[in-house]
Amino acid sequence: MEKQLSKREARVLRPVRYQVAGIDVGAGCHYVCVGNLSEESVRRFGTFTEDMEALADWLVGLKVESVAMESTGIYWVNLYDVLENRGVFGQCALCTKRSRP
């Protein structure tokens, strides 16, 4: 049986993973946020293959283990393939069109 949390405890979000990144996937560019894993916490990358490879290199260099991607279209597919080939595990693609009520 799970312990009931107090209202104060319920407001505190505890990290589950630390080596993570969030990506806003777009048709013209991708914005990547790695929080405090880098001095430059948010970077903008293009959508060409060389840009996505640079994005993957940056994440691998930071030892990122999981990536959450937000995409409203199919633009996440190529990026997903690049990240998977580079060993960035635990990707989660989210299509906002389907997740909104």
pLDDT digits (tens, 9 = 90+) for 2-35: 667 666 666 677 777 789 999 999 999 999 999 9
| Structure confidence by residue, pLDDT tens digits, 34-79 | 999 999 999 999 999 999 999 999 999 999 988 888 887 888 889 9
Structural domain boundaries in the chain? 17-99
pLDDT of residue 66: 86
Q: Is the dihedral angle over the CA atoms 88, 91, 93, 99 positive or is it negative?
A: negative
Q: How far apart (Å, rounded) are the C-alpha atoms in residues 89 and 70?
A: 16
Question: What is the model's pTM?
Answer: 0.77
Q: Is 25 helix (H, G, I), strand (E, B) or coil?
A: strand
Q: How far apart (Å, rounded) are the C-alpha atoms in residues 48 and 52?
A: 6
Q: How many CA atoms lie within 13 A of 79 on its CB side?
A: 32
Q: Cβ distance 97 to 72 under 8 Å?
A: yes
CATH 3.30.420.40 at 17-99, yes or no: yes
